[in-house]
């Protein structure tokens, strides 16, 4: 799976504007393709998923490919969100990528501590069956290869928006648990073309140990039913819930490892599903106030049926809902706790963000179990 000419944009609008004006980040010039003679390292060429850490930094991986043409090497950018300036720029070395050219970074997740912002890491999945670990303090990156990073050959067929696609994509979704008292976390991960979920302690990832030495430190957590392949993943630090985009089902699912040791049909749930508005849930994030954000974008239609792609239709949608509302009365429901598993930072019935207006959910929303449709903006 590859994405083309995707750059960084933010919205500029009010809560009443359902189609706000978009502006490039950090500026227009950095998002323009370089012309002949200009350095590609000064431009954002192609990025897709982002990560924001507790130190107000935006982490971005840029593949450096425009319309299938390589413009430059993949680069990792780190922006200071208080100044909108690039504070770190790291070029991924050729020897860290697959020799057959099958390396693609579908996103990343940043791992930082507020009290020690220099002690930060980024974990970058490679659909070619690898995981990159970037050390911010040392400004270095290493590649990890493990059998659990590969796709399942029985789960490579997708049908999204009427488009049949064969995607042999490996390592894709990554998410982090809350930080434990020892200072480390659990990284949950999954391949796009798979229904299985795995985990590994970040202590293992941050060490210099080889995979041969730590092979058994990677754990299989279980699997969902056939046809429930999942791509992007995110976690809620307060409740411990793992959310994932069920791209083959036009849906969002959840699993809570704080409540269940094994992933299965009985311990996971579909919390939102809609064949129109959630067609290809391309990304999802949980913010620091425990709101779940979901982006759907109909990319498969544009990529594989460009002649039948209706640019006049609504092809991009963004949804938001409090996590406590999303998981209520499901197997994922859990009382929120602090980052170390201790006290709750807020109560589910008293969200830390302001109460949203009472907006009725109509055909622009998504379908959710029971009477929960109105929980989504």
CATH number at residue 267: 2.120.10.30
Domain contains 244: yes
Tokens of 90: 């790291």
Angle at 223 between CA 370 and CA 234, to 5 degrees: 65
Domain contains 137: no
Q: Are 278 and 272 in contact (CB under 8 A)?
A: yes
Strand arrangement, sheet containing 109-113: 109-113, 116-126, 130-135, 140-145
Among 131, 160, 181, give the residue marking a domain's end: 131
Q: Are residues 113 and 201 in the same domain?
A: no
Q: Are residues 316 and 226 in the same domain?
A: yes
Q: What was the pLDDT predicted at 375?
A: 45
Count of structural domains within the chain: 2
Q: Are residues 286 and 172 in the same domain?
A: yes
Find the domain containing 224 and state its range.
146-377
Q: What was the pLDDT predicted at 356?
A: 31
Among 76, 101, 131, give the residue marking a domain's end: 131
Tokens of 158: 């997708």
Q: Are residues 291 and 334 in the same domain?
A: yes
Per-residue pLDDT tens over the stretch 73-128: 999 999 999 999 999 999 999 999 999 989 999 999 999 999 999 999 999 999 99
Phi (first) and psi of residue 62, to 5 degrees: -110, 125
Q: Are residues 296 and 200 in the same domain?
A: yes
Q: Are 85 and 76 in contact (CB under 8 A)?
A: no
State yes or no: pLDDT of 376 exceeds 70: no
Per-residue pLDDT tens over the stretch 116-173: 999 999 999 999 999 999 999 999 999 999 999 999 999 999 999 889 999 999 999 9
Per-residue pLDDT tens over the stretch 215-274: 999 999 999 999 999 999 999 999 999 999 999 999 999 999 999 999 999 999 999 999
Phi-psi label, residue 56: left if phi above 0, alpha if psi -120 to 50, beta otherwise: left
Answer whether the bond into residue 26 is a cis peptide, omega within 30°. Answer: yes
- Residue 46 makes CB contacts below 8 A (sequence gap 6+) with 3, 4, 5, 6, 7, 62, 63, 64, 65, 66
Q: Are residues 121 and 159 in the same domain?
A: no
Q: Are residues 185 and 88 in the same domain?
A: no
Domain contains 138: no
Q: Are residues 122 and 157 in the same domain?
A: no
């Amino acid at each position: 799976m590859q994405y083309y000419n995707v750059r960084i944009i933010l919205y500029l609008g009010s809560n009443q504007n359902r189609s706000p004006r978009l502006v490039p980040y950090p500026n227009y010039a950095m998002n323009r393709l370089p012309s002949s003679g200009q350095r590609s390292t000064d431009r954002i060429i192609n990025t897709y998923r982002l990560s924001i850490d507790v130190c107000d930094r935006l982490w971005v991986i840029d593949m450096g490919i425009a319309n299938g043409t390589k413009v430059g090497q993949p680069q990792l950018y780190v922006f200071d969100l208080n100044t909108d300036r690039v504070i770190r720029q790291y070029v991924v070395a050729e020897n860290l990528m697959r020799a057959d050219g099958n390396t693609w970074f579908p996103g990343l997740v940043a791992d930082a501590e507020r009290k020690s912002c220099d002690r930060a890491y980024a974990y970058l999945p490679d659909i070619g069956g690898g995981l990159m670990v970037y050390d911010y303090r040392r400004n270095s990156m290493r590649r990890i290869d493990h059998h659990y990073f590969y796709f399942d050959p029985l789960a490579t067929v997708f049908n999204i928006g009427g488009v049949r696609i064969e995607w042999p994509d490996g390592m894709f979704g990554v998410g982090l648990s809350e930080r434990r008292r020892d200072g480390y976390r659990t990284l949950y991960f999954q391949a796009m073309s798979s229904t299985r979920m795995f985990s590994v302690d970040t202590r293992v990832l941050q060490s210099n140990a080889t995979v041969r030495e730590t092979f058994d430190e990677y754990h299989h957590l279980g699997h969902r039913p056939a046809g429930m392949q999942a791509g992007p993943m995110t976690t809620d630090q307060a409740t411990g819930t793992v959310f994932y985009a069920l791209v083959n089902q036009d849906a969002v699912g959840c699993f809570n490892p704080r409540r269940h040791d094994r992933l299965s049909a009985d311990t996971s749930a579909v919390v939102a599903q809609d064949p129109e508005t959630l067609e290809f849930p391309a990304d999802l994030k949980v913010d620091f106030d425990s709101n779940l954000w979901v982006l759907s974008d109909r990319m498969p239609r544009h990529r594989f049926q460009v002649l039948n792609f209706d640019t006049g239709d609504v092809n991009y949608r963004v949804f938001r809902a409090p996590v406590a509302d999303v998981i209520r009365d499901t197997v994922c429901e859990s009382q929120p706790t602090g980052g170390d598993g201790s006290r709750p930072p807020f109560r589910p019935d008293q969200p830390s963000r302001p109460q949203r207006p009472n907006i009725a959910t109509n055909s622009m929303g998504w379908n959710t179990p029971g009477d929960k449709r109105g929980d989504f903006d």
